[in-house]
Structure 1
């Protein structure tokens, strides 16, 4: 009998598998790749919400967990994943500059926000008010991570590539059985696919569609992440990621012309050089009404668990939430109440 079945192979599933492996637990992953959010994500890790100059939820602790986590994955998979890149926030006005310096005096934020105003030195960027720099930021190549981890699981015979058929799932107090597999526990880390889950479908997972462009801009010559009304993230060979959109009604993984036009319009408010669009991708972020993850045990089945709802911050939240869930299952540790699904359970399971 396995220790775990893990459903989903995005940032949540991979993060949890890594904890299981480090702890010597046996597992098999079931994935159908129906959810694209991790593969098409910008992968930016940035602890600061740059729209409001505030800290993201528990971001400092998550960053401390994430850096060695991805370093370990790089060594294990033999692939470059972590690209350390400063993030420059373009100021729209003198007032924004002042708000930045006020924020840089706050506890926690003072660690990440540089108090040195950076004048614009890139001739193809329109930024008369300059930039503020966020420190200790970068990008995880999430597409390379998913691709490499999938190959690793195939080599270790730990991957089942199919859509989970819930009619084939049998649950008892002693075990979970799926076709020929039996395990002590099952963890659903299936992103927006959780909406079709008969056990956890009651959770308020909204799903927010995000679209990204890839542009080829030989004259841009920018080595830092620029954040304005959209961000640009440097890649190889004069290519840049441009994103992202946030749409709540469309729940498909199909790129749209409307989102492409929206991104281009915003990009051209500050980028003045010629460029060519060479890529366009879309995915559904697993977002939650209260902007906190969905982690915990099913109220009626002791061996069913969920690890979900990371939104646009899965790169940072994944390692933190996965360790919390493992310790909760195996060591009876308390889950962080802000992400424990018990906050939504009483309404649906009053007893």
Structure 2
């Protein structure tokens, strides 16, 4: 690798989270690194890019999604209106029990809505073009691709990556791959999913969501054929990948078989997606064009993980009585100097990432506070309680 200059910020991971963080730092000396040859080549490349409200009774997570959705739609429009299709989304109850829940949720809907086709239509529902969007976000950012980060170390106020790249601040947006973080309390579960792009003679006017999501007919294949996205399935595999691979477009299933994603499961998932989609809207003359696989990075409490990393060893050395349940304010925890994270955005990555990236950048540069439910600190506290 050629000798590189020193940076104010290095972001590792070029999915939607890393792309958004880099965008908000683009006025500084920032470098974006990824092990693949381009942006959005793992979970973010697999995503259908659906933006939809979260329904339910008021709670902290719903509040976060609502704020993030409003921010994301406005942000994407201001970035490039051609990369977002806003034709609304119809949320359809799965069954009668689900309909009764929806009736209860009505008074808690956060966005303009109307009843339509047996469901609830929200004008804010949108879809973004995931790869093109990440390209746009990182347009004016220094980037290094096909670069595997093997080790990081902190020395004399500087983070050093592979003994080659130096930066004052290091931000990890690596999704399901957390091997660079030597902290047991950071625990990410990979939720594997499949999305398919199809051609159909059925024109779809807006997005649908029931047991899967169907996109509007956002493009034409020919004069009488429309392109539509359907996603996504959910699998949690116990085994780990034996090697890294690009999980973007039609990857070799021999790679996926290491974790249990067999040809049989792929065929089953494809048929399941088509069946679920047809239960929402009849799709005629269907042909599968492309298949996408990938692992969404989710936390165990479903909230994202944002902020500066707690040094668990040094914090417990300083405050050993944490293990006995004694309360210590988070601002007294010992931190890894200038080491930050944005992770665990799960299946709502394109909804959450712009808002969270802006919050993280303001936290780093302006010393703004982060809400307790999204910080790293909550995970550290839970880990201490479990291991006392």
TM above 0.5, yes or no, is yes
Matching residue of 1:122: none
Find out whether 1:236 has 2:219 as its counterpart: yes
Find out whether 1:17 has 2:22 as its counterpart: yes
Query: Alpha-carbon deviation of 1:81?
Result: 1.1
Matching residue of 1:172: 155
Secondary structure at the aligned position of 2:291 is classed as strand
Instruction: Give runs of aligned pairs for residues 42-191 of structure 1, distance below 5 A.
Output: 42-49=48-55, 56-74=62-80, 80-91=82-93, 96-106=98-108, 109=109, 111-112=110-111, 114=113, 116-119=114-117, 130-149=118-137, 152-153=139-140, 158-167=142-151, 169-178=152-161, 179-191=163-175
Secondary structure at the aligned position of 1:80 is classed as helix
State which of 26, 30, 37 in structure 2 corresponds to 1:27: 30
State which of 249, 273, 279 in structure 1 corresponds to 2:237: 249
Taking the aligned partners of 2:156 and 2:360, their CA distance within structure 1 comes to: 20
Find out whether 1:7 has 2:15 as its counterpart: no
Q: CA RMSD in A?
A: 2.7
State which of 263, 279, 283 in structure 2 corresponds to 1:269: 279
5+ long unaligned stretches in structure 2: 1-5, 221-225, 242-246, 254-265, 312-335
State which of 47, 68, 77 in structure 2 corresponds to 1:41: 47
Query: Alpha-carbon deviation of 1:280?
Result: 1.0
* 1:163-215, Cα deviation, whole Å (9 max, x unpaired): 33333x33124111224422111001111122x22435641100100101111
Note if contact 1:82-1:139 (Cα within 8 Å) is conserved in structure 2.
Answer: yes
- Normalising by structure 1, what TM-score? 0.82
Matching residue of 1:307: 342
Q: Could you tell which deviates more after superposition, 174-183 or 305-314?
A: 174-183
Query: Alpha-carbon deviation of 1:48?
Result: 1.9
Query: Alpha-carbon deviation of 1:5?
Result: 0.6
* 1:91-126, Cα deviation, whole Å (9 max, x unpaired): 4556655543432222xx1x4252x4324xxxxxxx
Matching residue of 1:320: 355
* 1:231-289, Cα deviation, whole Å (9 max, x unpaired): 21022010111111011117663562232122123223344333111111111101111
Secondary structure at the aligned position of 1:193 is classed as coil
